Amino acid sequence: MNLIKVQSTINAPITKVWELWTKEEHVKNWNFAVADWHCPNATNNLIVGGEFHYTMSAKDNSFSFDFWGTYQNIELEKTIDIVLGDGRKMIVTFETFENGTIVTEQFEPEQQNPAERQQAGWQMILDNFKNYVEQ
């Protein structure tokens, strides 16, 4: 199966990028694709076998869902392997690059939406993360 890939180069040191990507108090500030959505709740147990749960919700309360997964492997400030709640695999890598950090997310597509739409949505969330880190 082909993985979908999104990537961003963030103008911040890897330690800061890792912290803002993994700490639940920060996740709530960036984990949504568009301005009329938000992430009102986030829990993150960043250990192998631990889970994260992020509430993805429309601000008008018309729709929400729990985006979650279980950590399979964690290498501090390098890589995180996840099995998402629906069984799909996800890999996140963090690489130091000149004055910043490259964050790459790769994931197995779900079958409900076209791959291009999934890639665009995940890229918007990663772009939102970049903006949050750099502000």
Percent of the chain with pLDDT over 90: 97
Paired strand residues for 84: 69
pLDDT digits (tens, 9 = 90+) for 73-97: 999 999 999 999 999 999 999 999 9
- Structural domain harbouring 67: 4-134
pLDDT band at 99 (very low <50, low <70, confident <90, very high): confident
Residue 1 has pLDDT above 70, yes or no: no
CATH of residue 114 = 3.30.530.20
State how far the Cα of 20 lies from the Cα of 18, in Å rounded to an integer.
Answer: 6
Other C-beta atoms lying within 10 Å of the C-beta of residue 54: 21
Instruction: Report the C-alpha gap between 102 and 89 in whole angstroms.
Output: 20
Per-residue pLDDT tens over the stretch 104-128? 999 999 999 999 999 999 999 999 9
- Give how far the C-alpha of residue 29 lies from the chain's centroid of Cα atoms, to the nearest Å: 12
Instruction: For 100, list phi and psi in degrees, rounded to 5.
Output: -150, -160
Q: Going by C-beta distance under 8 Å and a sequence separation of 6 or more, which residues neighbour residue 98?
A: none
Q: What predicted TM-score, i.e. pTM, was given to this entire model? A: 0.95
Q: Give the tens place of pLDDT for each residue, 122-135.
A: 999 999 999 999 99
- The C-alpha atoms of residue 10 and residue 98 are separated, in whole angstroms, by 11
- The total domain count for the chain is 1
